[in-house]
Amino acid sequence: MKRNSGFTLVEVLVALLLGAVGLLGTLAVQQAVIGASKMANDSAVALRLASQRLEEFSTVLTTGAPTNAPPMPNVDQFQAPVAIANPIGNSNWSAPTYLNAEGVAASTLSAAFRWTRRWRVLNLGAAQPYVISVIVTYATDTGSPKTVRLDLERRKSW
């Protein structure tokens, strides 16, 4: 008996099933890539917001008196008159500031203002540096918190 050329219905259905499985796998990979891209973007924004605050501290004058001289008033702007630095032994963080991706501040946490920035300047004592720390916290799409922390040691110049 002579066989007709072509595909049977079972062969076509198996080919469609394999194609559908391949497409579903591709969609899953694309979703994972999009999610990773969102997380990388949020991390980059948090890092930029933290480094922005550290750069703001670079404009603060730090000239202290030598350790063998009496302290001079209003010489060190980290200490006086604005008292940016915490007293020795005090490691409290600043009040949180809620920011959006552009660095604009708001009074409350919201979907647009979801990055929270806190900072502290520790005075480690006479002849010791300041340690400036900035923490930026944000929530991912799943709601789990992520934190970026930058620390900088700032020498006192005499």
Asked whether residue 42 is domain-assigned, the answer is yes
The angle formed by the CA atoms of residues 41, 43 and 48, to the nearest 5 degrees, is: 95
Number of domains in the chain: 1
Q: Quick one: pLDDT at residue 66? A: 46
| β pairing state of 130-139 and 105-106 | unpaired
The pLDDT tens digits for 70-93 are 444 444 566 655 567 676 667 788
Structure-token pair, residue 123: 């005075």
pLDDT at res. 23: 93
Answer yes or no: is 2 within a domain.
no
Domain assignment of residue 3, yes or no: no
pLDDT at 7: 81
Q: What is the pLDDT of residue 58?
A: 79
Q: Average pLDDT by consecutive 10-residue portion of the chain (158 residues)?
A: 76 93 92 91 95 86 53 52 65 90 91 91 80 92 89 78
Query: Which residues form the domain of 149?
Result: 9-154
Expressed in percent and rounded to 5, the helix, strand and coil fractions of the chain are: 30, 25, 45
Other CB atoms within 10 A of residue 150 CB: 17
Which DSSP state fits 99? E
Residue 109 placed within a domain: yes
Predicted confidence at residue 69, as pLDDT, reads 47
Q: Is residue 1 part of a domain?
A: no
Are 43 and 147 contacting, i.e. CB atoms less than 8 angstroms apart? no
156 touches 76 (CB < 8 A) = yes
- Give CA torsion, residues 100, 106, 108, 111, to 10 deg: -20
Residue 40 within any structural domain of the chain: yes
Is 135 inside a domain boundary? Answer: yes
> What's 80's DSSP letter?
S
> Which pLDDT does position 72 carry in this prediction?
45
0.95 surpassed by pTM = no
Residue 4 belongs to a domain: no
